Amino acid sequence: ETGVTQSPTHLIKTRGQQVTLRCSSQSGHNTVSWYQQALGQGPQFIFQYYREEENGRGNFPPRFSGLQFPNYSSELNVNALELDDSALYLCASTPGLVVTGELFFGEGSRLTVL
Amino acid sequence: QKEVEQDPGPLSVPEGAIVSLNCTYSNSAFQYFMWYRQYSRKGPELLMYTYSSGNKEDGRFTAQVDKSSKYISLFIRDSQPSDSATYLCASGLTGGGNKLTFGTGTQLKVEL
């Protein structure tokens, strides 16, 4: 069974640029959620996708957007990068929308904005 | 005020000690309570999950939820150096999907 994989693992961007982060969900999982974890903080919910539709969003501006594809993989796009966007971006997948508490996280993409 | 509050530590204990980690929350609608463990440069992994109030035990780990005081606890018995990690408490709502509200995380170091 393949776990959640994310790419790239590290990247550096400058303020104002755009970034795309990618996530492959665990086999059999149709729901993907994205979290932002700033240094020394807990993960913060950005949004989740279920069957290619956004299904729930946290307190993040519209420049954070996403996609889910028919194979349930997902992308997180961030436009007009700001310094505060520097963080670890975590993708998590589950076999559905029902909260069981068990999110399967990837190892994250660490974004540095200069 | 954050919905889930957690002392960031760091907390340093000797091997074999009993560790107590705690969180408080403010949203009385939370029904699901979890503890995740996060090793350095890794994603969080679920340790314990509790629905509503009560205790749950799994090996050396015990999770407690007291909804009347909005208090979440994790106890680790016979702590090992391999337990050194950041422990994140999290809460969720019924119907909230995969939206969890996490605490800041407590960094734990178990020393030989």
pLDDT higher than 80, residue B107: yes
* Alpha carbon distance A78, B8 (integer Å): 28
Q: What pLDDT score does B71 carry?
A: 95
Q: In angstroms, what CA-CA distances link A107 with A22, A44, A47?
A: 12, 15, 18
Q: What is the mean pLDDT of residues B91-104?
A: 88
pLDDT digits (tens, 9 = 90+) for A32-55: 999 999 999 999 999 999 989 998
Beta strands in A39-102 (DSSP E): 44-50, 53-57, 64-68, 74-78, 87-94
Does residue A111 contact residue A6 with C-beta atoms inside 8 Å?
no
User: For B98, which of A33, A40, A108 is closest by C-beta distance?
Assistant: A33
**Using a CB-CB distance cutoff of 8 angstroms, which residues of chain B are in contact with residue A31?**
97-98
- pLDDT confidence of A100, banded at 50, 70, 90? low
Distances (CA, A) of B63 to A99, B12, B20, B23, B59: 18, 20, 10, 11, 11
The per-residue pLDDT for range B66-95, each reduced to its tens digit, is: 999 999 999 999 999 999 999 999 999 887
Nearest to B21 by CA among B78, B102, B87: B87
